[in-house]
Each structure stands twice: as C-alpha cells, then as structure tokens.
Structure 1
Amino acid sequence: MRLKPHLLASAMILAAAAAHAEGELQLYNWGNYTSPEVLAKFEAETGIKVTVTDYASNDEALAKIEAGGSGFDLVVPSNSFIPIFLEKGLIQPLDLSKLPNHKNIAPEWMDVSWDPGRVSSVPWQWGSTGVGVNTSVYKGDINTSAIFLDPPEELKGKINVTPEMMDAISMATLYVGGELCSEDPEVLKKVRDVLMAAKPSWMSMDYGMEDKLATNDVAASMYWNGAVMRARLKNPDVKFGYPKEGYVLFMDSVALLSDAKNVEEAYKFMNFIMDPENAAGLSAFARYGNGIAGSDAFMPDDMKTAPEVVIPEEFKAAGQFIPTCSAKAQEYNTAIWTELMK
C-alpha cells in the first residue's frame, strides 16, 4: 500500500526525527584503546552511533585539533596535556549536572593537579610507562631504563622505543638523575647525550609492539604496562619492568571539545563510561586501571593480581606523573626530540 503524499511526508519527518534522536558521536582516541564491547553496549542502550578515529601520540592529537575543523566531539589526552588543551581553548568546562556518575570518580582521581575537581575531564584509563622485555632473550635485571638507554649486548639491535616524546625524554631525564620538565642545561645535555648514544642500539621507534614482543620480533621496548600485559597473555616470557631510576605514570582522560557538534551525545557517553561496570569493560579490553570507584568488582580476575597493573610495593615510589612543562622546558625537549628523530 502506498502512502498518500501528506502521510508520506509526515512519515519521513518522523523517521528523520528518530534518526536525530539516536544521534552520533565522534571519539578521537589512542589506537587500540577503545573496547568494541563497551561501544556496542553503549550503542544498544542509547541508539547513538560512535565513530572512533585513532591517533598515536598526544602531540598528534593536539596538532589535529588545534588546526580546527576536526569534526570530533571527544578527545582523550594524557594528564600533562589537559592544561595545554584548556589554555588553548580547545576543550570546554563540563556541565556536571549532566554527569550523575561523576560521583563515581575515585577520590584519588578527583582532585588531580591537572584538573582539580574534574571540571574539564573524566577518567578513561591510567597506567605506567616502563620496559617490556622478552626474558627468553635477556635474563638480567629488567627493572631499569638501561634496557633501552644503555642496552646489554643480548638486546642490542632488538630494541624498540615508542616515539612518544614526553615519555621517552622523561624516562631519560629520570635515568640521568634529573627532574621532570627540567630547564637545567646540564641535565638536558645529559638527556640528549644518553638518548643519542643509545639510538644506534635500537631496532625501531614505533608503536604497535604488543604482537611484536609476543612473537619476539623485538626483544624489548619502552612501552605501556597494559600493552605489555596483553603481550604476556600471548607469551609468558614477556615481562614488564619498572625502572628503579624512575618511570612515568599517566592518566588519560576524556574531554569535550569546544567545537563539538554532538554535545548531548558526548555527555551521555562520558556518563556511561563512569558507570563501574562499563569502566571495568574498558579496562578488560585495554588492560589498564580506570579511576572509577567500584569497578574492581567487575574486573577480570587476571587483572586483580597482574604485576603490570598492580604496581609492586618496591617500585611504587619510583613512579611520577609528568607535569605540564614550561614553554622553555618544552622548547628544549622539542629540540632534543627533533635531533633524535633525524
């Protein structure tokens, strides 16, 4: 049966309204970091279609969004980048009345230095940067940044360094005994020298080391704890080392872009991931902690005791969050990095 023209027009209007009500959302996130199961659950419950676009580094995300016209609604920067996004006016303060699950943020992740009171971001995942090592190749001490900064013979030519500028420079700074975001020329010269001296022993500077560590395509990598756990689940010879000289902690958080088009959908998504069960779902996929109180009850059993996730007591004090560096420190860091990447 064909509809009469006026009825057909009404039906088309209703269909369009329903489609708009379902909505869409553009999420800009780190690669291999977003649980397909959690996205499917969100879409089933809300009707909102989420499109995820990947990036590889904080600097890449910042440059893309600062250029304008990205079309993204949400971004997931690391802690030291949240103040930069705010200062540049790229993200907007949150309307907490639209986030009833905001109360689920664990106290230690609420009044954080980079976003006191969590008024501009909500937790995604947190973890540490250390070293992943295939212990079938190297059986010595892995709890040191010497793994990639002064490599033992067994590892030379088999090492990857993940090209995340602030992680690599911060790990090198701690290794030479300096303070993070240092402006001290003597410290920075040591950082530059140790990195440049180590580089000939590296095989690559790349991402995507989970499978390569597991298959021994690389024997060691400066890398993130969750990804190393995923590699270990494929190959028990892979272990995560916490450098005793100091290592980096991070918290990636979701922020609402100032030019977001799908604002209400974005609020629904942020509220959704602060539900303890959904936060645990994100962790179950990426293998990082999440910052939401009550999520432990829904965590996979193998994460509750995993040495990559539960930091051993002896190494807890060595972990540091990277602060937001001064413009001068950032200029020095960029100069070192530019030379290293040549």
Structure 2
Amino acid sequence: MHLIRLTTATAAALLATTALSFAEGELNIYNWGNYTNPELIKKFEEKYDVKVTLTDYDSNTTALTKIEAGGSGFDIVVPTGNWVPIYVEKGLLLETRPDQMENFKNVAERWVDVPWDPGRHYTVPWQWGTTGVAVNKTSYSGDVNTSAIFLDPPEELVGKVNVVPEMNDIINMTIFYVGGEACTEDKEVLKKVRDTLVAAKPKWLSMDYGTTDKLKSGEYQATVNWNGSTFRARLENPEVVYGYPKEGYPLWMDAVAVLKDAKNVENAKLFQNFIMEPENAALISSFARYANGIKGSEAFMPEDMKGAPELDTPEDLQAAGQFIPVCPKSARDIYTAIWTELQK
C-alpha cells in the first residue's frame, strides 16, 4: 500500500512536471482594447511559464477582417457571441471542446448551451453586458433610458454626443427605436432607420471609441456605451449615469475562442480552462466591470460591483434587453450599406 502511494505520488509529480514543461512557450491573444486585466495575464504567465502577448482591436469588424486575411499570428480571439457563427462558417475557429474541460463545471447554467455556440464546442465566457447610453447629468437631467439621447438628442446635448462605431449595436438600437425587430429586412422600417441616423449624425460630436476616459474627463457629455465602461467612468466621475433604452437595447456576451491556425494550441486551451476558474473570472470582471458568467466568481468581486446600477437593470426595463441573433447575410448586407452611407 505504501509503495502504491509512493508510486502514485511520483507519477503525479511527473505529470505535473510534464504539463508545466509542455505549457512553456508563448500565447498570442487578440482582444478588445482596455478589456484585459494585467493581473490575470501575469497570473497565467507565472502558473504555466508562458509568455503572453496581448494585441488590441476596437471592433468586431476590425478583428474579423484582420483574422480572415490570414497570417495574423494570433492564437486567441474574443468575438461577441453573434459573431462566433460567422467565424465558424468561415472555418476560422478550432473546435477545442471547452465543454469537456475541467473547469467547465463552473459555467453558470444560462451560459452552458448558447445559440451562438451550441454545446460550447468552441468558446468559453469572457464577459457579458448591455449596450445602452451614458450621460453626464451636469448637461442633461432628463430621461436617460431612451435611444433618443443619440437619435434625437435633446437641445442640451446637441453637439456633445458620441456614437461608438459598432455597426450591429447602432443599427439594431435604431431598428428598435423606430419600432422594428432585430434582423429585420422590412423596407419601410429600414428606410426609417436610414433616415433617422442620417438626420441625427449632424447633431453628434463624434463616432469613436475610447469612451471610458472621455466620459470621465467630460469630453463626451453623452455617448452610446457599454455598461462596464460606463461603470468605470462613473467611479472617477460621479456625474456619469447609465441608461437602458426603453425602446430596446442589445445584450451580448464576448467569448474566448482559439483560431484554426493558432501556433500555440495547447497554451490557448489552457487559457480557456484557466479563465473558467471563479477566482480568475473575477479578475476579468474586477478590471473591466462586467459580469462574467462563471459561478462562484462573485465571492472574489470588488464590493462596489454589488448593486451597481450599471449591472443591475431596473426591473421595468429588463424586458427591453435582448440578445441580437446572427442576422442573415441578406440583412447584414443592407445594414452595411446603411452604415457605409453614414460614414460618408
């Protein structure tokens, strides 16, 4: 019996050494800017002796275009859920089977089987949240729970509004505003969408990212924005408030996937499993201030995330939020045409 215990212990030690040796090397992550906790990366590097290189992007479109061109050198990408099927259709992702990984047991029930990745064969949760509007209440003290903030700005906000150039969010928020449904191809609805956006644009200050810092500083008095980014801005500037448009607003989840041409596949899989550990998921959320979808991570969250208005949607506005499905290509082509016109 003693011999068996000794042999088992020795074997376990050898396995641990082998795993560590196997993990040595590199990992190249392609993720949204200002979205990855340096402490998380440091912890992963030290645990597995892996050098992580992080490269930022500013939109789903930018990321897909870069990866589709080939030769990116990235191992991991973090697309929004409704972009994942596009990656899969184009053959850009590796089926890493996160559902069979050790830490998959920590994924909260609602995120185990999702429409954009049935059974979780490709992706693991990163963070999830809402797209709404942020307003500095020193400029405007009226209703913030409306997309009129950017589609028909009140006089106090004319020339002070930023719109993040994320096509799917903006197009769908406008569709909801004019009374349509996500992924609509109704010509009358889309004409209203086009006319509403074109009429609104002269009243905007800009179409840009970098909203967190510019909300904090007051450079943006209002902007379409994500809830976690607004939360971070409010911590530095208490005049910032977040609104959930009553006409409808997107819910989303960003997901960690491994690229088909990844050079460091095993390290990428280790990272997928690593971030499903509650304490590590909490590191992700404590930096960017979004929920993460991992059970037990709440125990490791900063105290100020409990009850934060950017994370706790008012009960009467919860039904207005919805996950945007992957729209048919025919619909996406129409939206792209509207978006292209808006950029002129």
Which of the five TM-score ranges fits, normalised by the shorter chain?
over 0.9
- Displacement of 1:228 in angstroms is 0.4
Question: For 1:72-91, what aligned pairs fall within 5 Å after superposition?
Answer: 72-91=74-93
Question: What is the CA–CA distance in structure 2 between the aligned matches of 1:312 and 1:276, rounded to whole Å?
Answer: 26
Question: For 1:280-319, what aligned pairs fall within 5 Å after superposition?
Answer: 280-319=282-321
- Structure 1 gaps of 5+ residues are 1-17
Question: What is the CA–CA distance in structure 1 between the aligned matches of 2:179 and 2:198, rounded to whole Å?
Answer: 17
- Displacement of 1:97 in angstroms is 7.6
CA contact (8 A) 1:128 1:248 kept: yes
The one of 259, 262, 271 equivalent to 1:260 is 262
Give the corresponding residue for 1:5: none
Question: What is the CA–CA distance in structure 1 between the aligned matches of 2:286 and 2:187, rounded to whole Å?
Answer: 43
- Structure 2 gaps of 5+ residues are 1-19
- Displacement of 1:304 in angstroms is 1.3
The one of 94, 106, 109 equivalent to 1:107 is 109
Give the corresponding residue for 1:238: 240
Q: Deviations over 1:127-167 (max 9, x none)?
A: 00000000011000000000000000000000000000001
- Displacement of 1:314 in angstroms is 1.5
Question: What is the CA–CA distance in structure 1 between the aligned matches of 2:71 and 2:46, rounded to whole Å?
Answer: 29
Q: How many residues align?
A: 325
Question: What is the CA–CA distance in structure 2 between the aligned matches of 1:292 and 1:116, rounded to whole Å?
Answer: 17
Q: Which moved more, 1:79-88 or 1:20-29?
A: 20-29
- Let me know the Cα RMSD of the aligned residues: 1.2
Question: What is the CA–CA distance in structure 1 between the aligned matches of 2:49 and 2:85, rounded to whole Å?
Answer: 33
Give the corresponding residue for 1:14: none
Question: What is the CA–CA distance in structure 1 between the aligned matches of 2:111 and 2:202, rounded to whole Å?
Answer: 39
Question: For 1:133-148, what aligned pairs fall within 5 Å after superposition?
Answer: 133-148=135-150
TM-score (norm 1): 0.93
CA contact (8 A) 1:98 1:267 kept: no
Q: Deviations over 1:230-279 (max 9, x none)?
A: 00000100000000000111100001100111001001111110000100
Give the corresponding residue for 1:36: 38
Give the corresponding residue for 2:168: 166
Give the corresponding residue for 2:185: 183
Q: 1:244 to 1:44 in 2, by over 3 A?
A: same
Give the corresponding residue for 1:247: 249
Q: Which moved more, 1:252-261 or 1:209-218?
A: 209-218
Question: What is the CA–CA distance in structure 1 between the aligned matches of 2:183 and 2:58, rounded to whole Å?
Answer: 22
Question: What is the CA–CA distance in structure 2 between the aligned matches of 1:21 and 1:34, rounded to whole Å?
Answer: 21
Q: Deviations over 1:41-72 (max 9, x none)?
A: 11111111111110100011111111001110
Which residue identity does 2:53 align to in structure 1? T
Give the corresponding residue for 1:151: 153
Question: What is the CA–CA distance in structure 2 between the aligned matches of 1:81 and 1:21, rounded to whole Å?
Answer: 29
CA contact (8 A) 2:23 2:48 kept: no
Give the corresponding residue for 1:11: none
Give the corresponding residue for 2:57: 55
CA contact (8 A) 2:99 2:120 kept: no
Which residue identity does 1:122 align to in structure 2? V
Could you list the runs of 4 or more consecutive aligned residues of structure 1 that deviate by over 6 angstroms after TM superposition? none
SS, match of residue 85 in structure 1: helix
